[in-house]
Structure 1
C-alpha cells in the first residue's frame, strides 16, 4: 500500500534537479517529525487501482481566509490547528478526539475556476459530512475522521484522494451510526468514491472525572482551646481536608469531646495521639463524602506519623501527616528514609505534609542538606518556598509525588505561631461515600394515638362478627387494618436526609463570629499591629462565647430530660464520645456480604460435626409430668405483660410499639384474639418468624472493614415478643414447680445473677483452701452456642426431658422451624435467608430454650463427681485435690463433655478455655505436670463472669481493675460536669462509678483494709467531683452530707441483703443451702433472735471470707427489728440507717 501523496509529489518535482530532491526530502522529514499528530485516509488496494493515472498536473491552493463566505469555518472547542494545518486544511469529522494528523506532502494546486450556480456543491458535501453524526441509529463506513484541532477550513477539493493524507491512529468508537440513504456521490475527475473507503472501528476513550479537593495544613498547638476557631476556619474556607499537627490530644478518657466541638456538620476526624508523654499528636478532619481509611505504619521514635488513603476508582491518594519534635534527633533522617522506602514504591500518588521543624530555607542549618538529598532521592517535590513560622522559617512542608498541587497560599498566622497553608489537590475519580437515601416515615405526635384508637373501633377487625381462624390470615387482616388507619392519621412521607445544623449557635454567638471576621478583614487590609491585636481578642471572645453557648444548649437538654434516662444518657454519651469517625459503608451489597458472612459462620461450625443418629438421640430423663396445651390468655394478663415490656420494635412492624401500648384499650382485644388463636392452633405466623439483623461493632476501636468484628443484633416484631412472653409466663411456673431446670444454671433466670454464681463458686473454693487442700478450676466457653442448636434435637429434648407434648409441642415446632432473617444497615436491606439452626436471637424464649437444650450436661458432670456451675453457655468445673490425687476423673469428664457437645452441634472455644490452680506454690507444680493436654491453658489469673480471679483468691487484680475503671469514668464525667446540674451529676456518678464499685462486691467481704482503701479512694474522688471539695479537705463530712455509705459498709450491705433474700425464698436454692438457722442444744434467751449457724474456719484470709461463714456472722450482729423486716424495701431502709449510724457516729 502506497500513500497517494507520494504519487502527486512525484509529478510536481523536477527529476533533473538532484539537489532539489534532497532539499525536498529533508523538508518532508522535518514536517513529518514536527506534525506527527495528524490523520491520514487509507485506502485498500482495489481503491488505489481505480484511481486515475496521476498524469494530470494539479496544484494545491492555500485556503481562503476565515471570513470568505465560500468556505465555512468549523471550530472544535478544545484545541487549535497548528500553522501547517491552516495552510492545508482537510474536512475532518468532529467526533474523533484520539486521531493524530500527518501533514500532506503535496504541493499547491491551482485554484479552479468556479462556474456560477455551482456554489451549492460545496455546501452539499459539507452537509453530507455533518449528517454523518454519531447520534444516527444506523451503521455506516467511516469516510473522514476528526484531527483534534479547532480552526478548520474546508478546502474545495478536500475530497480528492490524491492529496488526502489522514490516517486513523487511535480510533475510539466501535460502531458509527449510518447516515440516511442518499444518492451516490458523483465521482469527479480526481475525486473518490466514498464507498471504497475502508471502515474503521473506533474505541471509546476512558472518562476521567477530576475533583479538586481544598485542603489546609495547620500546626494548631492545642486543639482544645481553639475548637470553634478551627471549626470556623474549616467552614469559612470550604475545606475538604484539614491536617492538624500538635493537637495535644491524648488517648485518655473524654479527650474526644474536643473533636465534637471542632468537627463541622457531616465531617469526621481521625486522631493519632502521642503514645507517651504530653504534647504532639496529629489529626485529620475531612468531609464524610470522601472515602478515607487509615493505613497501618511502623512506629518511629523520631517523628509522629498518620497515614490515610483517599480511595479512588483509578489510583488512590496516600496522605502521610508528619510531626517531628523540634529537638535534635540523629535518627530522623534514617527513620524518614526507611518510611519513604516502604511507601513510595507501593503508591503512585503520595502526599507527605506536616511540621518537620527543619529550616529548609537555610541550607547551612543541620540536617537540611541531608533532608533535601533524601527528598531528591525519592523524586519528591517540595512546594513551600516561603516562611511558615512567625519567626521567618519554613518549618511546615508539603511534599508530593505523582499529584498536582495548585493554588497554594500561606496565610497570616492568627491563632498559632505557625501560618496556615491552604492548597488544592487534584483527585481523579475519587470514591465518595454513598449518601444515605431518603426514607419514608410517619410523623407521629401526641394526637396520633387518640385518632388511631377512634378509627380502629370502626375497622372490620373490630366490628366483624366472624374473623378468620388461620393465624396468618388473622394477623394479615390486623396489619392491613392498622396500615390503612396509619396512612390516614399519619401518612408515610418521603424525608430526605438533612444536614444537622449547629443548634447551639445562637444570635449572640453569631454576632461574635461576624465581629471576628470583620476584624480579620481589617487586619488583612492595613496589616497594623493594633488591628492584629483586635483580631486576636475577637478570636478569643468568639471561642469563649461559642463554648458557653454549647454548654448552655446541652445543659437545657439534660435538665429537660432528666426524668427520661434514655435521652439523658444518650445526650451525655454524645458529649463524651462524639461521633467523630466516619460511618461504616452502607449499601445493599454490604448487607448481602453480612448476610453471607453470618450464614457461612454457622455452616462452617456445623460442618465440623457429623454425629450418627444414635448419638443425636438423647436418653429419656423419665419426665413424669406432661405439658400438653397452653391456656387462653386473659385481657388483664395481656395488659400486665404489655405494660412491663420495653417499647422495642422491628423495622417490619406495621404499628409502632408505643402506639400499641398507648392504645391497648382499643387494640388489646384484637391482639388477644391473635395470640389465643396461635396458642390454640399450635402455629406461629410467618411474619412473626422473620428477624431483621443489624450489625453492631463490638468495640469502637476495632477495624470496621472486618466483618468478624461485628455482633449481630436481631430485632423481632413487637407482637411476636408479646406472644413469647405469654408462653413463658405459662412455661416457667411449670418448670419451677416440677424442678426441671438445672439448679446450677444461673443464666437468664429470675433471682439469679453473675454475683450469685460467683458467690457460690468462690465460697466452695475458699472452704476447700481453708481445709488445707488444693483446688482446680476449669473455665469452658462455647463458640456461637445459641446459633448452632439443632432444632430436631431441641424438640426431642422438650418432649422427653421436659414433658411438652400435643399442641404445645406443635407450637414450639412451628416457632423454631421456617424462620428467616435479613440484614439491615441504615436504609438498606439484604435479601432473605433461612435460619435452619439455633434458638431465635433477640427473642424472649431463646435463652430458656437453650437452658433446656443443655439439660443433659449437668448429669454428665455429676457422673464424674465434679462440682460445676453454669451461666448460659459459660461452664465452670472445679474440684478439691490433694497433691497425690489423680486428675483422671477431671480429664475423663472433659472428654465426655467434649463428646456430648460434638453430638449436639456445640463447639468448645479452645481460645477461651482457661485453667486455674489454687493452693500452695509447691503443690501447684505437681498438679500442673499432671494436667496432660490442659497444661497449656493454665493461667495465674482469669476473668470469670466479669471478675478477675487470681490463684490466691485475694482479688488484688480485680480491685485494681475496678479502681482503674472508676477513675477512667471520673475523668470522662469531669469533662461534662459544666453541662449537668448537681442532681443530674450525682445520678451520672451512681450510674458510671458506684455501679462499678458495687459489681460483685459481696466477694470483697473479709479482704484486707489496704485493698478496700483503693476503692474508697475512688469513692472519695467521686464525692469531691460532685461537691467541688478541695483536695486536702476532710472527706468524711462530705460523704455524710451525701448519705453515701463507705465502701466497707457497702460490702456489708450487699452481703446482708443476699442473706435476707435467701431466708425469704428470693434467692437461688444454692445460696439458700449455704446458710442455716442456729440450733441451740437447749433453750436460751437468744433463741428468738433469728440467729444463723456460723461454721468453723481455720484461716482468716480463706475460711473467714467464705459466704457460708462471713454472712451468718454479719447477720447475727444485726438488731432484731432489721431481721424481722416485713419486706425488702423496709429491710433496705432500716439496714442503711443502721450502717450509716455505724459509719458516721457524730452525725
Structure 2
C-alpha cells in the first residue's frame, strides 16, 4: 500500500479520480463525462496486435465513440510486422524489444496534435505521448518475465524526474498488482515511488483475473474518470479514461452520404427526350445539355443521409450482424464469470465464442478474396492488397494530407497558394531553361525538324467515328469507385445506366472528333494533392492528381486507342520506349537493359548506366513543341485541331476536405490523371530515344530514362559517357525538360571476376 506519509506530502491540488467497472462497451460512455471536451484514452493488453486487432476493432465499434488515443501493450512486434492500419487513426510503434512479446502500438486520431518519443528504459517498453496544454501520457509495457523490478523502478524514477507539465498519466500493463488488498511488496515500492512524484492510482479494479495489472496513475488538477470494461480481446480487460483538458481536436464532422436511387434514375433517363441534344452542332453546347439533363435527374432521385461518427464502420468487412453476435458472446461471457461452476454454461459460451470468431474470420476472408478478384488484372494493386492483408506495408500509415487542418487560419488562401504552385511550376521551370538558351518557346518549336523528329509525312492520321458498342465496352471497363470530375457525374452512374447513356455519349464523342473541339468542361481539372515524402505542410511534397470529367475520360479513351493504333501500326514509336504500351512493361525494360549490358560485358566492354530523373516532366512539357511533333508524325487537319483544343484553355482548382481554391489557368504540361497524358508524353520524348549518340543505348519508361554507354576500357566508357550526356542534356534543354540531379544516378557495370 502507499505510505500515508507520502500521500500527506502530495500536492493538495491533485484531484481524485472516479473509477467504474462495466460489462458492456456501450456503457463506458456514461461514465466518461462530456467527451467532446475531453481526451479519451483506451489502454489494452492485446497479446499480439496481429492476432487480435480485428477483435479490438469490433470492441471499438461497440463503444459508440472513437477514443482519441489507443494504447496497445504486449503487441508481439518481434514477428516482423509493424503496419496495422486502423481507419481514422495514425500509428506509432515502439522499437526497443526485450523479448518476443514486447512492443507498444499507439493509435491517435487524425487531427490530434501530439508528439511521441521513445526513451531508453530498462526491463520495459516505454513511449511518451505529449499532448497540447501540457498533458503527458507515459505508456509502459513491462513483461512479467522480469521478476526483479529494481531496474524498472530506476528507469521510471529517472523518467519522472524529467517530466514537466501539470497533467501526467502513467498507463499500460505494468504487471504489478496494485489492488487494495495486495500483499505484494513490489506494489508498495512502485506506488510509493510514483506517489513521491505526485501520482495516485486512477483505479484499483481487477483487470486480469483478480489482479489489477493494467494501470492508470494520475497526476492532474482535474478529475479523471476511469472505466474498466470487460473484454474478450485478450485475458486482460480494457481500461478507458478521460482527460478533462478542453481538447482542441474537433470531433469529425458528420458524414453526409448521397444515396442515389439508380432504379428510378434509369427509368427517368429512358423517358428523357434527347432530341434537343441531337440537334446541337456545337460540342460545348451538346455537352452542357447532357450534363444538365443528367444532374437534374440524379438530383431529383438523391437522398442525403447523415451518418454520425459513432455509426462509422472502422473496417469494411464489419457488419451489424457481427456486432450483434459479439454482443451476445459478451453476455454469455458475463454469465460464465458470474457462474464459474456452471460447466454447461461454459461449454455453451465457448461454442458460441468460436462461432462468432469464425463469422468474423469468414467475413474478413471474403472481403479480402473480393479485393483480390477485383484487382486480378492489375499486378500493382493486387500486390498492394496482399501487403495489406499480410500487414507487410513498409509504412505504418497512409500519408495524410496536411495542407490544411482544422486549425489552419485561412484555408482558402492556402489552397489558392497551392493551386498557384501546381499550375505554374511547369512554366517556371520551362522559363528558366528559355532564359538559359536565349530563345522563346515558339522559336524552339520551329526547330522541330527532320533532324530531331523522323519525318513521316507519307502517313496521315484520321479520326474514325465511334459507335455505341465501343462506348459500351469502354463504360463497362471503367472503375466503379473512381472519383467524379467537376461535372459530378460518376462512373457508377455511367455503368449503371450505360444502356440508355451510350447513345448520347456516342453523339457527343463523334461531334467532338468531327469538329476538332474538346468541350471546355472536359478541360477543367479538380486537383487532389497526394502526399509524397517530406514535410506534409510543404506544397512541393505533393503530387497533383487531376480528377477529370468521367465523360471526358471516355472521349479520351476513344482518341487514345486510335492514336496508339496509328503509332504502333506504322512503327512510329521507338522500340526503346516501354511505358504505357501494349505488351510492354517495366519487366521488359529491365530484361532488355540487363541483356544489353550482359552482351557488352561478354564482349569485353565496360558499361556505364546513367539513370535520369526528370523534374515535373508531365508539368513542364511544352504544348507548342508537342503539337509540332504530332504534326511531324502525320497528325494534321481536324485531328491536329482536336489535340490543339485538348491542350489549350486548360484550367484547374485544388480541393481538400470540401474546400476549393480559385480556378487557375494551366499553360504548360499535360494533366496527371488523364488518359491521353501518358501517350502524348511518349510522343514528346520519342525522338530522344532516336538520338544518334555514339556507343550508347536508351531505355525509357515514361519520364524515367536510362542511357547505357559502353567502351573497351573505363577511360573510353567515361569519355563516351561525358560526350553523350552533353548531347542528351542539349536535347532536354531544347525540349524544356529539366533533370533532377539529386535523383539521377550512375552505375558502373563490370564482371566481378575480371580485373582492370
- TM beyond 0.5: yes
Whether 2:596 is the aligned partner of 1:760: answer: no
1:620 to 449, 452, 458: 449
Whether 2:621 is the aligned partner of 1:811: answer: no
> Alpha carbons of 1:537 and 1:244: their partners in 2 closer, same or farther (altered >3 Å)?
farther
Whether 2:515 is the aligned partner of 1:693: answer: no
Cα distance in 2 for partners of 1:233, 1:691 equals 39
1:291 to 112, 137, 153: 112
Q: Which residue does 1:864 correspond to in 2? A: 694
Q: Which residue does 1:650 correspond to in 2? A: 484
| Deviation per residue, 1:835-868 (Å, 9 max, x gap) | 23211222222112112222342344x2333222
Cα distance in 2 for partners of 1:429, 1:652 equals 36
Checking the alignment, whether the CA contact within 8 Å between 2:46 and 2:72 is kept in structure 1 is yes
For the pair shown, which has the larger CA radius of gyration, 1 or 2? 1
Deviation, structure 1 residue 692: 2.4
**Secondary structure in structure 2 of the residue aligned to 1:854:** helix
Checking the alignment, whether the CA contact within 8 Å between 1:249 and 1:279 is kept in structure 2 is yes
Checking the alignment, whether the CA contact within 8 Å between 2:126 and 2:140 is kept in structure 1 is yes
**Secondary structure in structure 2 of the residue aligned to 1:476:** helix
> Alpha carbons of 1:230 and 1:540: their partners in 2 closer, same or farther (altered >3 Å)?
farther
Q: Which residue does 2:30 correspond to in 1? A: none
Deviation, structure 1 residue 556: 6.3
1:278 to 92, 100, 109: 100
Deviation, structure 1 residue 279: 0.3
Checking the alignment, whether the CA contact within 8 Å between 1:641 and 1:722 is kept in structure 2 is no
Deviation, structure 1 residue 715: 2.5
| Deviation per residue, 1:398-453 (Å, 9 max, x gap) | 344555243446789998776765544212143124314424442214x643x245
Deviation, structure 1 residue 552: 4.0
Cα distance in 2 for partners of 1:229, 1:872 equals 44
Whether 2:546 is the aligned partner of 1:714: answer: yes
Cα distance in 1 for partners of 2:256, 2:506 equals 36
Q: Which residue does 1:505 correspond to in 2? A: 322
Q: Which residue does 1:353 correspond to in 2? A: 171
Whether 2:516 is the aligned partner of 1:682: answer: yes
> Alpha carbons of 1:310 and 1:549: their partners in 2 closer, same or farther (altered >3 Å)?
farther
**Matched ranges for 1:139-178 at <5 A:** none
**Matched ranges for 1:239-388 at <5 A:** 240=67, 244-250=71-77, 268=89, 270=91, 272=93, 276=97, 277-284=99-106, 291=112, 293=114, 295-298=116-119, 300=121, 302-310=123-131, 315=133, 317-326=135-144, 327=146, 328=148, 332=152, 335-336=155-156, 339-340=159-160, 344-345=163-164, 349-357=167-175, 376=196, 379-383=197-201, 386=204
Checking the alignment, whether the CA contact within 8 Å between 1:410 and 1:419 is kept in structure 2 is yes
Deviation, structure 1 residue 454: 2.3
Deviation, structure 1 residue 644: 6.5
Checking the alignment, whether the CA contact within 8 Å between 2:577 and 2:689 is kept in structure 1 is no
Q: Which residue does 2:739 correspond to in 1? A: 908
Deviation, structure 1 residue 778: 2.0
Checking the alignment, whether the CA contact within 8 Å between 1:212 and 1:427 is kept in structure 2 is yes
Q: Which residue does 1:746 correspond to in 2? A: 578
TM-score (norm 1): 0.52
Checking the alignment, whether the CA contact within 8 Å between 2:124 and 2:141 is kept in structure 1 is yes
Q: Which residue does 1:480 correspond to in 2? A: 292
| Deviation per residue, 1:143-170 (Å, 9 max, x gap) | xxxxxxxxxxxxxxxxxxxxxxxxxxxx
Cα distance in 2 for partners of 1:274, 1:503 equals 37
Unaligned runs of 5+ in 2: 1-33, 314-318
Cα distance in 1 for partners of 2:520, 2:114 equals 41
Unaligned runs of 5+ in 1: 1-207, 261-265, 524-528, 927-1147
| Deviation per residue, 1:34-54 (Å, 9 max, x gap) | xxxxxxxxxxxxxxxxxxxxx
Checking the alignment, whether the CA contact within 8 Å between 2:448 and 2:628 is kept in structure 1 is no
> Alpha carbons of 1:659 and 1:397: their partners in 2 closer, same or farther (altered >3 Å)?
closer
Cα distance in 2 for partners of 1:676, 1:391 equals 74
Checking the alignment, whether the CA contact within 8 Å between 1:606 and 1:905 is kept in structure 2 is no
> Alpha carbons of 1:383 and 1:639: their partners in 2 closer, same or farther (altered >3 Å)?
closer
Deviates more, 1:244-253 or 1:429-438: 244-253
Cα distance in 2 for partners of 1:231, 1:833 equals 46
Deviation, structure 1 residue 922: 8.2
**Matched ranges for 1:339-738 at <5 A:** 339-340=159-160, 344-345=163-164, 349-357=167-175, 376=196, 379-383=197-201, 386=204, 396-408=214-226, 421=239, 423-445=241-263, 448-449=265-266, 451-456=267-272, 458-461=273-276, 467-487=279-299, 491-497=301-307, 499-500=311-312, 502-505=319-322, 510-520=327-337, 522=338, 530=341, 543-554=353-364, 593=414, 596-597=417-418, 599-600=420-421, 603=424, 607=428, 609-611=432-434, 612-613=438-439, 616-617=444-445, 618-621=447-450, 623-625=455-457, 630-631=462-463, 633-635=465-467, 638-639=470-471, 642=474, 645-647=477-479, 650-653=484-487, 655-657=489-491, 659-660=493-494, 666-696=500-530, 710-736=542-568, 738=570
Whether 2:655 is the aligned partner of 1:840: answer: no
Deviation, structure 1 residue 293: 4.7
Cα distance in 1 for partners of 2:703, 2:614 equals 6
Deviation, structure 1 residue 652: 3.2
